[in-house]
Structure 1
Amino acid sequence: MIHNTAIISNKASIGNNVTIGAYTSINDYVEIGDNTVIENYCEIGYATPLAENKKLVIGANSHIRSHSVFYQGSIFGDNLVTGHRVTIREKIKAGSNLQIGTLCDFQGDCVIGDFVRTHSNVHIGKESKIGNYVFIFPYVVLTNDPHPPSDTLLGVTIEDYAVIATMSVILPGVIIHEHALVGAHSLVKSDVPPKMVVAGNPAKVICETAKIKLSNLNESAYPWPKHFHRGYPESIIAQWEKEFGC
């Protein structure tokens, strides 16, 4: 269903069973997959020369909430879900099942894996690289300029299963290795080893993640796929059971 106030370019490709809300604009070089919902007052395929006339591709079964802006030139896999008022820049390549919280700002030229979850008010700097099954909690900032303002960009890398807790800032070029945990309000200036907890300003290694216990159970909270399965398909949970012994 397309609302009668929506503006759809004749250069856009709209899949089957797509819903487009009131006063939403679908611009040139946009491809929207089947069964996608785009709510009211969105701007999809915002033109920018930085996109180099590349398509914006939104995968099937996605849901983009009201007042969101997506620039031209990015590719998103199936099952994309956003909150309200997100801003997504050009030339992002993202996998499936990406969740973007309300008021997030993703800058261009980023690579994002599958099943990444960012909560509200997260800023992803240009040239960031994010793996699979990553959690990024509210008000986290991934920076990219080592001596601002400059033309040097060093994107942050976050590897699979890493967790970045609320209000943390990750400085340019830092690598957060797999299964690591960054504690809340941390300023991370150097690489974080795999399966380690860092916290503080500047962040320092605290302990192995396996030493953190769930508050309601006498068992380790990490790796988190051992006990947290909400929103993941049975096939992924079965894979975790083999890998982590859930």
Structure 2
Amino acid sequence: MENSHTSPTAQAIHPTALVSPKARLGNNVKIGAFSIIYDNVIIGDDTTIDSHCEIGYPTPLTQGEPLRIGASSLIRSHSIFYEGSSFGEKLTTGHRVTVREKTKAGKNFQIGTLCDIQGDCVIGDYVRFHSNVHIGQHSSIGNFVWIFPYVVLTNDPHPPSHVQMGVTVEDYVAIATMSILLPGVTVKKGALVGAHSSVSRDVDEDTVVAGSPANFICATSKLKLKDGSGSPAYPWRKHFHRGYPEAVVTAWLEEFPR
């Protein structure tokens, strides 16, 4: 249940924090030193906001929509979240993250240090961003996606212009470090984009692309784990389960019996 920050259940607010009386804080919310919680904010139970954060930064672009942070979230220091976005439970960030307005993300979203999400994005459940990821406006990202450091999702086909064509990344995709996805590209379910790639056209399901420009390399099923077992590396959910709930892992093991 969401309560005013004056509720006795929301007692862990540092004396230097500035928390608007209009903000709605759940039970056991912790606010660190020098953080600012603006008016148009709803924060779920058992959430921690570290020091020097700005939560619900005002903007006229949201038509009054609040910032909603789901329960059991952790936002680390020096992060800025604009109003008008929503996040499911167990959002976790690194330090110095920026998230602009109208971002809609599911549960268990992890955002690495120095990531920049430019807003008007849709992001699914259990998505993982490593550090220094840039997500352009109008990006659409599915469930269980991995995006590694210094990846950029672009959106302007002939910059600078008013034309915006967001990138679409479907479920279970992995995008390796320092890759660039160009405007309007779709990376389909289960694909792997190799490191340092420039992706200028759609990527087929369960395939590997790499290079600049990125070209088809092979089916993901051809890649083997470099652990001496000779087992297939993909689909990765056959063997990588860390951080996922038991019910999700059980469903994967039923889909891919050993």
Measured against the shorter chain, the TM-score band is over 0.9
- Match of 1:70, SS state, is strand
- What's the offset of the Cα at 1:186? 0.1
Aligned alpha-carbon RMSD (Å): 0.6
1:228 alignment counterpart: 240
- Kindly indicate whether residue 5 of structure 2 is the aligned counterpart of residue 17 of structure 1: no
- Match of 2:254, SS state, is helix
- Kindly indicate whether residue 118 of structure 2 is the aligned counterpart of residue 103 of structure 1: no
Query: TM-score if structure 2 supplies the norm length?
Result: 0.95
Q: Show CA shifts across 1:167-222 (max 9, x none).
A: 00000000000000000000000000000000000000000000000001211000
- Match of 1:213, SS state, is coil
1:240 alignment counterpart: 252
1:67 alignment counterpart: 78
Residue 43 (structure 1) aligned to one of 54, 58, 62: 54
Residue 171 (structure 1) aligned to one of 182, 187, 194: 182
Give, in whole Å, the separation in 1 of the partners of 2:257 and 2:109.
Answer: 25
State how many pairs are aligned.
246
Identity of aligned residues (%): 64
Query: TM-score if structure 1 supplies the norm length?
Result: 0.99
- What's the offset of the Cα at 1:245? 2.1
Q: Show CA shifts across 1:115-146 (max 9, x none).
A: 00000000000000000000000000000000
1:85 alignment counterpart: 96
Give, in whole Å, the separation in 1 of the partners of 2:119 and 2:70.
Answer: 18
Give, in whole Å, the separation in 2 of the partners of 1:194 and 1:81.
Answer: 29
Give, in whole Å, the separation in 2 of the partners of 1:245 and 1:52.
Answer: 49
Give, in whole Å, the separation in 2 of the partners of 1:242 and 1:126.
Answer: 36
- Between stretches 235-244 and 156-165, larger displacement belongs to 235-244
- Match of 2:221, SS state, is helix
Matches within 5 A, 1:59-208: 59-208=70-219
- Kindly indicate whether residue 17 of structure 2 is the aligned counterpart of residue 6 of structure 1: yes
Q: Which runs of 5+ in 1 are unaligned?
A: none
Name the aligned partner's letter for residue 256 of structure 2.
Answer: F
Name the aligned partner's letter for residue 140 of structure 2.
Answer: K
- Kindly indicate whether residue 210 of structure 2 is the aligned counterpart of residue 219 of structure 1: no
- Match of 1:155, SS state, is coil
- Match of 1:235, SS state, is helix
- Match of 2:184, SS state, is coil
Give, in whole Å, the separation in 2 of the partners of 1:234 and 1:54.
Answer: 34
Q: Which runs of 5+ in 2 are unaligned?
A: 1-11
- What's the offset of the Cα at 1:28? 1.1
Q: List structure 1 segments (4+ residues) > 2 angstroms apart after TM superposition.
A: none
- Match of 2:13, SS state, is coil
- Match of 1:197, SS state, is strand
Give, in whole Å, the separation in 2 of the partners of 1:145 and 1:29.
Answer: 31
- Match of 2:251, SS state, is helix
Give, in whole Å, the separation in 2 of the partners of 1:244 and 1:125.
Answer: 34
